[in-house]
Structure 1
Amino acid sequence: MNMFKKLGFSVGMSVVLLLAACGEENSGAEEADSGNGGDAEKTIGVSISNLDEFLTYMQEAMIAEGESHPDFEFVFSDAQNEGATQLDQVENFISRDVDAIVLHPVDTVSAVDIVDRANDAGIPIVVANRTFEGIEAATAFVGSESIVSGTLQMEAVAELLDGEGNVAIMEGELGHEAQIMRTQGNLDIIKEYPGIEVVYQGTAIFSRSEGMQLMENWLNSGEEIDAVVANNDEMAIGAIMALEAEGKLDDVIVAGIDATPAALEYMQDGLLDVTVYQDAIGQGANSIKAAVSAANGEEVDDILVPYELVTPENVDEYMDKYDQ
C-alpha cells in the first residue's frame, strides 16, 4: 500500500433513501441494498461503524457513487458502533461471496480480524476513513491523515490566542486513531508555544452531550480556560452549549474538526471559531471507486483526501459543498 498517494476529485452528492431492506440476518443492525440488485453482475458489501452526521454524509456519497456503477449491487450495513455486530456483518458478506468489501471500522482491534478474514476468503477489502495498526494488510485505505487535522486546528487556535493562554483538549473515544492522532497534532503545535498551557485534557467520546457535560465539569473547577480544542465538531458544539449557558462563550475560543453542516451553521452564527474540513463526500465516493476497481481485478492504491482549515472568513465556501 502507498499511504501517501493523493487523488484530486470533485464529487457531487445526492441524498438517497435506503428503502429496500435486506432479507438476510444482520444481528439487529440496519442493512439495505442500493437498489441495483436486479441488473447487478457483482456485489459490494459496505459496513459502516455508525451513522453519526459525518458518516451519514459519507454513506450518502457512497450511495450516489454506486449509482454510477449499475452492474454492481451495494449492500450497506450499520454496525451501530458494535465491533461484534460489524464482524457478523462482514462474515455475512463473506458467506454471500461478495466481490469486494468497504469497511469503516468500529475499533482498531476487531478491524484487524475483519481484514484477515476477508483476505483469507480472497475478497478485496477497502478501509475507509479510519486507520489502525495492521491496515497495510487491507487492499487499500481511503481517508485523511488525522494528525494533519489536529495540526491545522491548533495552529489556527494558537494564532487566535496570540501564542498565550490556557487550553482544554477535548478528546474523542480513547484508543480510536482519530483521537490519538488529532490530539498528537494539537500537542505537537503546543510544544512550539511556551505561552500556551494545557490545563485540561479528557474524553467526551466524540459526543455532543458528553462534550457539554465535560465542559460543565471543567467550568465548575474554576480553572481559567481561554480555548477549547475538540477532536470533532460534535464535542465542540457541546462545549459551546455549556459555555453559552454560563455566559462565558465570548471569552473562550472553540475549535472542532470535520466541518459538518451543523458546525458550519454554528460558525456562521459566530459561535464556533475554527474547524477543519474532513471531506466525507470525497472519502465516501472514492471508497466505492476503489472497491469497484478492486472487484474488477484492477490494482488499487491508497487515496489520501486532504484536510482543509475552515474559519469564519471562508465558511460559506464549505457550506456550499453540502448544497451541491
Structure 2
Amino acid sequence: MRLTGSQSITAFFFLLLFLLSGCASHSALPAVEKEEKETTKLQIGAVFADGQDPWLSFLMNGVKEYEDGNEEMEAVYTDAENDSNKQIEQAEELIARGVDSLMVTPVDMVAAELILEKAARADVPVVLVNRESLETESVYVGSDAFSFGVMQMEEVAKQLGGKGNIAIMNGQIGHPAQKQRTEGNKSVIEQHKSMNIVLEGTAGWNREQGKELMKNWLESGQNIDAVVANNDEMAIGAIQAAEEAGVLDQIVFAGIDGTPDALSFIQQGKLAATVFQDAKGQGQGGIDAALQLAKGEKPEATTYIPGELILKENVDVYVEKWK
C-alpha cells in the first residue's frame, strides 16, 4: 500500500520515537545495575564495647581495614562506651534493622548473654570477639587467655629466680579473660614453693584504677617483688604509682596486650614483659567469621589468635607491627 505524504511524515515520527525510547532504556541499564549491586552488599553489625580503650581501638581499626578491602559487605559500627545496657540496646537496633550478622566485643557477660539470646530469636548469627560467653555457645575469635597468663607468669618466675611475693592485678572480675589469665598465673605459681600471692585486687582494665590500686598496696607496707597485671593499661598505672613512690627499680612489672604504650615502657626498662595480643588479627578474624555467617557458611567454632612474649630484646619487632 502506498502512503500519502502526511502518512509518511507520521510514520517517520513514530519510528523516531521508538528509536529514542530504545536508546533511553539502554542508557538507564547501568544505573539499575549499580543500584542492585549496592543493595546486595551484606550488612554486618560491628558492636564494640569501648572505642576509647587503646587496645580495642586497634581491633576496630583492623575491622575497618578488612571492610575497605572487601566488596561483599559493609559494616555498621556502634560504640557502647563501656555501658552494658547501651550495648544491648545498640544490638537490638541493629537486629531490628535487619543486619545479616553481628560481630560483638561484649562490654561484659550480661551483655554477651542477652545479645546472643535476642539475636537467636531473630535468627541473626553472632560471632563474639576477644571476650567469649561463659554460658551460651557461640562462634568465638580471640586469644587463649589461660595460655597468656601462663606465658606471662613463667617469665616473671624466671626473672625472680622462682621466688618472691606476687601481687596480681585483675581486670573486671568475672570477665572470661580476667578469670582465665589469672588462673594461668596461679597455675605457674603453684609450681614454685617460694613464690607467694600476697595481694590481689581489681583495677577494671583501667590505667588510673591500676595506679590507685598500686598506691594502696604500697601504703599497706606489704613487700612486693612483682606486679602481674591482666593487661598493659593496669600494669602501666602500677608502674606510674611505683615511680612516684621511688620504688620502681625494686619491683618486676608484667602486662598483657603488647600495646604501643606498653612497648615504650619496655624500651625504657620499666615494664619487664608483656604478651602480644594481636588486636588487628582478632578484629579481622572476627569480621571474616561474621561475613561467613552472613553468607550462610560455618566458620570454625573457636579461633585462637596466638600470643607472643615480648621482652626488651625483641620489642623492636613489635614496634614495627603497630606502624
With the length of structure 1 as denominator, give the TM-score of the two structures: 0.86
Q: 1:49 corresponds to which residue?
A: 49
3-state SS of paired residue (2:172): coil
1:282 aligns with 2:284: no
Secondary structure in structure 1 of the residue aligned to 2:199:
strand
Whole-Å Cα distance in 2 between the matches of residues 297 and 69 of structure 1?
A: 17
Instruction: Note the alpha carbon deviations across 1:261-301, whole angstroms, 9 max, x for none.
Output: 10001101111001001110100011111111111111111
Residue in 2 aligned with 1:18? none
SS at match of 1:74: strand
Q: Percent identity?
A: 43
Aligned residue number for residue 237 of structure 1: 236
Residue 206 of structure 2 corresponds to: 207
How many residues of Structure 1 are paired with residues of Structure 2 in the alignment? 285
- Report the equivalent of 2:87: 86
Question: For residue 227 of structure 1, what is the aligned residue in structure 2?
Answer: 226
Partner Cα separation in structure 1 for residue 42 and residue 70 of structure 2: 10
- The reply on whether 1:155 has 2:126 as its aligned counterpart is no
Distance in structure 1 (CA, Å) of the matches to 2:74 and 2:309: 36
Distance 1:144 1:127, change over 3 A: same
User: What TM-score do the two structures reach when normalised by structure 2?
Assistant: 0.86
Per the TM alignment, residue 38 of structure 1 is displaced from its structure 2 partner at its CA by 5.2
Give SS of 1:95's match. helix
Gaps of 5+ in 2: 1-36
SS in 2 for 1:134: coil
Q: How does 1:170-185 map to 2 (within 5 A)?
A: 170-185=169-184
In our comparison, the structure showing a higher alpha carbon Rg is 2
1:118 maps to 119
Q: Distance in 2 between matches of 1:171 and 1:268?
A: 24
Kindly report structure 1 stretches of 4+ aligned residues shifted beyond 4 Å: 37-40
The match for 1:314 is: 314
Contact 1:40 1:70 in 2 (8 A): no
SS at match of 1:101: strand
Task: Work out the CA distance in 1 between the residues paired with 2:181 and 2:133.
Answer: 14
Q: Show CA shifts across 1:166-201 (max 9, x none).
A: 111111111111111111111110000000111110
Q: State yes or no: 1:102 paired with 2:108.
A: no
How far 1:40 sits from its partner (Å)? 5.6
| Runs of 5+ unmatched residues, structure 1 | 1-36
Tell me which residue corresponds to 2:297.
Answer: 298
- Preserved CA contact (<8 Å) 2:134 2:176: no
- How far apart are 1:108 and its partner, in Å? 0.9
CA RMSD in angstroms comes to 1.3
